[in-house]
A = this chain, B = another copy of it.
Amino acid sequence: MLKVFICGGSGYTGGELLRILSNHPEVIVAGVTSERSAGKSVSDLFPHLHKYSALRYEPLRSEEIIEKADLFFMALPHGESQAAVDFFYRNGKMVIDLSADYRLRDVKTYEKWYKAPHKFPATLKKAVFGLPEIYRNKIRRARLIANPGCYPTGAILGLLPALRNRMISISSIVVDSKSGTSGAGRKSDAALSYCEVNEGFKAYAVGTHRHTPEIEQELSLLSGKEISVNFTPHLLPVDRGILTAIYSPLIKRITANEAVKTYRNTYKKEPFVRVLEYGMYPNIKNVRGTNFCEIGLKVNERTNTLIVITAIDNLVKGASGQAVHNMNIMMGFEEKTALASLALFP
Task: Name A's B-contacting residues (CB within 8 A).
Answer: 12, 15, 19, 22-23, 46-51, 172, 174, 176, 178, 181-182, 186-190, 192-204, 206-207, 228-230, 232, 234, 236-241, 243, 245, 247, 249, 274, 281-290, 296, 298, 300, 302-303, 305, 307, 309, 311, 340-346
Rounded to whole Å, the gap between the CB of A224 and the closest CB of chain B is 19
Nearest B residue to A282, CB-CB? B202
Residues of B within 8 A of A234 (CB): 178, 243, 245
CB distance from A104 to the nearest CB of B (A): 16
Q: Quick one: closest B residue to A241, CB to CB?
A: B201
The residue in A15, A47, A198, A345 that gathers the most chain B C-beta atoms within 10 A of its C-beta is A345
In the complex, A207→B306 CA distance in Å? 10
Return the chain B residue nearest A248 by Cβ.
B172
A232 (CB) vs chain B CBs: closest residue: B245
15 sampled A-B residue pairs with Cβ under 8 A: A12-B346, A50-B274, A172-B249, A182-B346, A186-B195, A188-B188, A192-B195, A194-B194, A194-B197, A194-B237, A198-B198, A206-B298, A229-B303, A236-B236, A237-B238
Assuming A178-B234, A193-B186, A195-B181, is B342 touching A288 (CB within 8 A)? no
**When the two chains form their complex, are residues B305 and A230 in contact, meaning their CB atoms are under 8 A apart?**
yes
A203-B296 CB under 8 A given contacts A186-B195, A189-B188, A195-B239: yes
Closest chain-B Cβ to A180's Cβ sits at a distance in Å of: 8
Contact call A199/B346, Cβ cutoff below 8 A: yes
A138 CB → nearest B CB, Å: 29
Q: Chain B nearest CB: distance from A269 CB in Å?
A: 17
Distance to closest chain B CB from A231 (angstroms): 9
Q: Is the CB of B195 within 8 A of A281?
A: no
Chain B residues closer than 8 Å to A228, beta-carbon distance: 302-303
Residues of chain B within 8 A (CB-CB) of A343 are 48
Residues in B with CB closer than 8 Å to A238 are 198-201, 237
A237 surroundings in chain B (CB, below 8 A): 194, 198, 236-238
| Among B12, B193, B309, B311, contact of A188 (Cβ-Cβ < 8 Å) | B193
